[in-house]
Amino acid sequence: AQSVSQHNHHVILSEAASLELGCNYSYGGTVNLFWYVQYPGQHLQLLLKYFSGDPLVKGIKGFEAEFIKSKFSFNLRKPSVQWSDTAEYFCAVNGPGGSYIPTFGRGTSLIVHP
Protein backbone atom coordinates (compact mmCIF):
# COMPACT_ATOMS: atom_id res chain seq x y z
CA ALA A 1 0.00 0.00 0.00
CA GLN A 2 1.08 3.54 -0.61
CA SER A 3 2.01 5.86 2.21
CA VAL A 4 2.52 9.60 2.26
CA SER A 5 4.69 11.43 4.78
CA GLN A 6 4.44 15.10 5.55
CA HIS A 7 7.35 16.02 7.74
CA ASN A 8 6.20 19.39 9.03
CA HIS A 9 3.11 19.07 11.18
CA HIS A 10 2.97 22.68 12.36
CA VAL A 11 4.61 25.66 10.68
CA ILE A 12 4.45 29.23 11.90
CA LEU A 13 5.68 32.03 9.66
CA SER A 14 5.53 35.77 9.39
CA GLU A 15 4.07 37.39 6.30
CA ALA A 16 6.51 37.61 3.38
CA ALA A 17 8.52 34.64 4.61
CA SER A 18 9.19 31.79 2.21
CA LEU A 19 7.45 28.45 2.62
CA GLU A 20 8.47 24.91 1.84
CA LEU A 21 6.40 21.93 2.98
CA GLY A 22 7.82 18.47 2.54
CA CYS A 23 5.98 15.48 1.11
CA ASN A 24 7.37 12.01 0.43
CA TYR A 25 5.53 8.98 -0.87
CA SER A 26 6.35 5.31 -0.87
CA TYR A 27 5.47 3.93 -4.30
CA GLY A 28 8.14 3.88 -7.00
CA GLY A 29 5.96 3.54 -10.07
CA THR A 30 3.78 5.99 -11.94
CA VAL A 31 1.82 8.18 -9.58
CA ASN A 32 -0.38 11.24 -9.62
CA LEU A 33 0.50 13.81 -6.98
CA PHE A 34 -1.64 16.51 -5.43
CA TRP A 35 -1.55 19.26 -2.88
CA TYR A 36 -4.83 20.27 -1.28
CA VAL A 37 -5.56 23.18 1.03
CA GLN A 38 -8.23 23.37 3.70
CA TYR A 39 -9.06 26.79 5.05
CA PRO A 40 -10.61 26.91 8.53
CA GLY A 41 -14.10 25.41 8.51
CA GLN A 42 -14.03 24.60 4.83
CA HIS A 43 -13.59 21.56 2.64
CA LEU A 44 -10.48 20.59 0.71
CA GLN A 45 -9.58 22.53 -2.40
CA LEU A 46 -7.03 21.60 -5.01
CA LEU A 47 -3.89 23.75 -5.03
CA LEU A 48 -1.98 21.95 -7.74
CA LYS A 49 -1.38 18.55 -9.27
CA TYR A 50 1.29 16.63 -11.13
CA PHE A 51 0.53 13.88 -13.64
CA SER A 52 3.39 13.96 -16.12
CA GLY A 53 5.73 16.31 -17.98
CA ASP A 54 7.46 19.28 -16.38
CA PRO A 55 8.29 18.30 -12.79
CA LEU A 56 7.85 21.90 -11.65
CA VAL A 57 4.15 22.49 -11.28
CA LYS A 58 2.52 25.85 -10.72
CA GLY A 59 -0.79 26.10 -8.93
CA ILE A 60 -3.19 28.71 -7.68
CA LYS A 61 -2.35 31.58 -5.33
CA GLY A 62 1.36 31.57 -6.17
CA PHE A 63 2.07 28.04 -4.98
CA GLU A 64 4.33 25.66 -6.83
CA ALA A 65 5.63 22.14 -6.24
CA GLU A 66 8.52 20.15 -7.58
CA PHE A 67 8.35 16.45 -8.30
CA ILE A 68 11.70 14.73 -7.73
CA LYS A 69 11.26 11.13 -8.74
CA SER A 70 14.60 9.95 -7.38
CA LYS A 71 13.68 11.26 -3.94
CA PHE A 72 10.00 10.22 -4.06
CA SER A 73 9.21 13.80 -3.11
CA PHE A 74 6.70 16.46 -4.06
CA ASN A 75 7.47 19.51 -1.95
CA LEU A 76 5.22 22.55 -1.91
CA ARG A 77 6.72 26.04 -2.06
CA LYS A 78 5.68 29.65 -2.00
CA PRO A 79 8.22 32.48 -2.11
CA SER A 80 6.24 34.92 0.03
CA VAL A 81 3.33 33.84 2.23
CA GLN A 82 0.35 35.96 3.20
CA TRP A 83 -1.87 35.92 6.26
CA SER A 84 -4.63 34.46 4.07
CA ASP A 85 -2.48 31.36 3.48
CA THR A 86 -3.21 30.24 7.04
CA ALA A 87 -4.71 26.80 6.50
CA GLU A 88 -4.04 23.10 6.61
CA TYR A 89 -2.17 21.59 3.67
CA PHE A 90 -2.43 18.00 2.54
CA CYS A 91 -0.28 16.06 0.13
CA ALA A 92 -1.99 13.18 -1.67
CA VAL A 93 -1.00 10.41 -4.05
CA ASN A 94 -2.99 8.11 -6.26
CA GLY A 95 -1.95 5.65 -8.89
CA PRO A 96 -1.54 1.99 -9.62
CA GLY A 97 0.74 1.31 -6.69
CA GLY A 98 -2.15 0.63 -4.37
CA SER A 99 -5.37 1.71 -5.90
CA TYR A 100 -6.66 4.77 -7.65
CA ILE A 101 -8.25 5.87 -4.40
CA PRO A 102 -5.95 8.61 -3.11
CA THR A 103 -3.81 8.30 -0.03
CA PHE A 104 -3.30 11.45 2.05
CA GLY A 105 -0.57 12.63 4.32
CA ARG A 106 -1.41 13.72 7.85
CA GLY A 107 -1.40 17.38 6.92
CA THR A 108 0.60 20.45 7.83
CA SER A 109 -0.98 23.25 9.77
CA LEU A 110 0.36 26.61 8.59
CA ILE A 111 -0.15 29.77 10.61
CA VAL A 112 0.97 33.04 9.08
CA HIS A 113 1.27 36.03 11.39
CA PRO A 114 0.54 39.43 9.88
Partner 1 sequence: NAGVTQTPKFQVLKTGQSMTLQCAQDMNHEYMSWYRQDPGMGLRLIHYSVGAGITDQGEVPNGYNVSRSTTEDFPLRLLSAAPSQTSVYFCASTLDRDSGNTIYFGEGSWLTVV
| 43-62 residues near partner 1, rule: CB under 8 A | 43-44, 46, 49, 51-52
At 79, which amino acid appears?
P
Is 4 within 8 Å of 71 (Cβ atoms)?
no
CA distance 92 to 110: 17
The sign one gets for the Cα dihedral 55, 23, 109, 99 is: positive
Pick the closer one to partner 1 by CB: 79 or 96.
96
9 binds partner 1 (CB under 8 A): yes
Pick the closer one to partner 1 by CB: 75 or 103.
103
Is 50 within 8 Å of 59 (Cβ atoms)?
no
N-term to C-term CA, the chain: 41
Pick the closer one to partner 1 by CB: 17 or 32.
32
7 binds partner 1 (CB under 8 A): no
CB of 109 to partner 1, least distance (A): 9
Binding partner 1 (rule: CB under 8 A), the pick from 30, 80, 82, 84 is: 30
- CA nearest 102: which of 33, 11, 56? 33
Binding site for partner 1 (CB under 8 A): 6, 9, 30, 32, 34, 36, 42-44, 46, 49, 51-52, 90, 92, 94-96, 99-107
